[in-house]
Structure 1
Amino acid sequence: MKKSLILVNTFKKDADRIAGEIKAHLESKGVSAKLFAYDGKDAHTKNVPVDFSGADFVVTLGGDGTVLFAARECAVYSIPVFPVNLGEFGFLAGVQPDCWKKELDDFLEGRAVISRRSLIDAEVLRKGHTVFKSRSMNDVVVSSTTSSGLVNLEVAYNRALLGSFKSTGIIISSATGSTAYSAAAGGPIVEPSLDAVVLTPISSFSLSARPLVFGPEGEIAIRVLPSRVALALVADGQVDFSLETGDVIIAGISGYKAQLISSTQEKFYSALQSKLNWSGGPRA
């Protein structure tokens, strides 16, 4: 390991201080460390001003959103991400700020677990031509641009028609993203190591609409039918694209994998237990 990039979410308390400590520690180990200040707004631009290509690994200092921003770009270069959690949930950012030194040394010395996570690739076809592409670690959401507007979407899987859905939208998530917006909309929680795709309707007009889980080989096609409201595709809650009637969204498992350092199965289930109050607490 010779080069690293430290992505610092400057909105997070103590991020600059911890970034300086990590940089000094890496340089003491003979690893160069370049800092990049990230305020969260950069994720919403289509042209991300970060060059990940020369790094052997990337350290993120922030919450799960910071990990999403880095991981989907790093996946193309097979660059692992060391995610230090300065946020709230920590489903992706599994390294706690008081443990980073030991876990970083474990990685540098080849002892760390590296979790490989599936991504979702999506493209928008308009009159037969590709007008937009995205890659997501969590999910792709096709929905109304207003919170309560109903949209009409025709959904097929491997050319088998599933039907027309009237709802505020549809979420297509990876196994990793099953704990995010999909879970909030009533979707299942899927073990993150699985190459699964989850399709979850959002506030469906019909009680018969249920979440569906698909394998890695197929593709989901969503056709935008005439609706009274504007629609958009949003990737990982960070990149968006306006949709038109007749557009077709094709989505499925990407050929690339994100790599998260020290994101063990034990940490995943510990986060579920904590966040979902599986211990039977008052909010369970």
Structure 2
Amino acid sequence: MPKAGIIYNDIKPVACQTAEELRDKLVSYGWDVFLATGVGGILGYSKPNRPICHTPLKSLAPQGFDEDMAFAIVLGGDGTVLAASRQVAPWGIPLLAINTGHMGFLTETYLNRLPQSLEMLVEGAYEVEERAMVAVQLYRQDVLCWEVLCLNEMVLHREPLTSMCHFEVEVGRHAPVDIAADGIIVSTPTGSTAYALSAGGPVITPNVPVLQLVPICPHSLASRALVFADSEPVTIFPANPTRLVMVVDGNAGCYVLPEDRVRLQRSPYTARFIRLKPPEFFHLLREKLGWGLPHVAKPTSVELP
């Protein structure tokens, strides 16, 4: 019996209802179906009095989700998709993301197209697009305290975000650089259309094997976004007397103390997304962000009598 999964946002009634309807439909087709929420992919935050919060990556998968699962359907917005990708990436399970949220930049289709999408899914009429992920690790005195898979970005800043921070950043074997800014972002190509874009970074097409480093409100005109090969690991040393906060994909994070170091490197795991038609990134940019829309001239002024 083929096996499928459904991951849904349990705080949205429409997602909960649709998850049950989808389960019944797939069962009628002869599938073995496992349901889970995206909560397991939201790791939460370590605490100052309990800083070690290390969860092995493979333990995040919900019960029944493993390498034998043909696909999983995600019901929610981008936050649910980010959490779900973290849950299933170690097992290589492809995700079909159905938008029940707002922006839905990572989702493939909408609820009103669900019947047609489900037919294509069970017939195997789709292709799988792989997106690079980054392993983010926090070390304290050479002890791994915290680890997470990142699909969008890692952000390191002061708590609260009200004053300038100092960072020493090493990219691969290159000489370290000093950055003074409100914070720092390390982004994948997938995350280049998220926080990194708002902070002034460039849009990067998903198939380019790079990472980007974006200072948030830098103190110097010389500190600008940097794009580099994702084959090179990144190590960040906070040069601050007080602790910082690290947030990954907007839904997981931990405290970073002055003696800590943060290491990022491309993960062997990828996020695998089901595409019901060939992916067209520029069309997505136009639809979601308005990129490349034709210029509309101002109307000719009419001289009143």
Q: How does the TM-score come out when normalised to structure 2?
A: 0.84
1:167–1:204 contact (8 Å) kept in structure 2: yes
1:15–1:61 contact (8 Å) kept in structure 2: yes
* Alpha-carbon shift at residue 190 of structure 1 (Å): 0.8
Say whether residues 1:270 and 2:269 are aligned partners: no
Larger Rg belongs to: 2
State percent identity of aligned pairs: 29
1:90–1:271 contact (8 Å) kept in structure 2: no
In the TM superposition, what are the counterparts of 1:22-33 in structure 2 within 5 Å? 22-33=22-33
In the other structure, the counterpart of 1:193 is 207
In the TM superposition, what are the counterparts of 1:91-110 in structure 2 within 5 Å? 91-110=105-124
2:40–2:62 contact (8 Å) kept in structure 1: no
In the other structure, the counterpart of 1:43 is 42
Pick which of 5-14 and 92-101 moved more: 5-14
> SS state of the match for residue 271, structure 1?
helix
* Alpha-carbon shift at residue 265 of structure 1 (Å): 5.9
Cα distance 1:184–1:20, how it changes in 2: closer, same or farther (>3 A)? same
1 CA distance for matches of 2:101 and 2:200? 23
2 CA distance for matches of 1:140 and 1:264? 30
Structure 1, unpaired ranges of 5+: none
> SS state of the match for residue 89, structure 2?
helix
Cα distance 1:264–1:44, how it changes in 2: closer, same or farther (>3 A)? farther
> SS state of the match for residue 191, structure 2?
helix
In the other structure, the counterpart of 2:139 is 125
In the other structure, the counterpart of 1:253 is 266
> For 1:160, which of 174, 191, 216 is the aligned residue?
174
1 CA distance for matches of 2:278 and 2:234? 28
String of CA shifts for 1:77-99, please: whole Å, max 9, x gaps: 01111111111111111221111
* Runs of 4 or more consecutive aligned structure 1 residues displaced over 3 Å after TM superposition: 44-49, 263-268
> SS state of the match for residue 245, structure 2?
strand
Q: How does the TM-score come out when normalised to structure 1?
A: 0.90
> For 1:234, which of 247, 254, 267 is the aligned residue?
247
1 CA distance for matches of 2:249 and 2:263? 16
Structure 2, unpaired ranges of 5+: 45-52, 297-305
> SS state of the match for residue 110, structure 2?
coil
String of CA shifts for 1:162-185, please: whole Å, max 9, x gaps: 411111111111111111111111
CA root-mean-square deviation:
2.3
Name the count of aligned residue pairs: 280
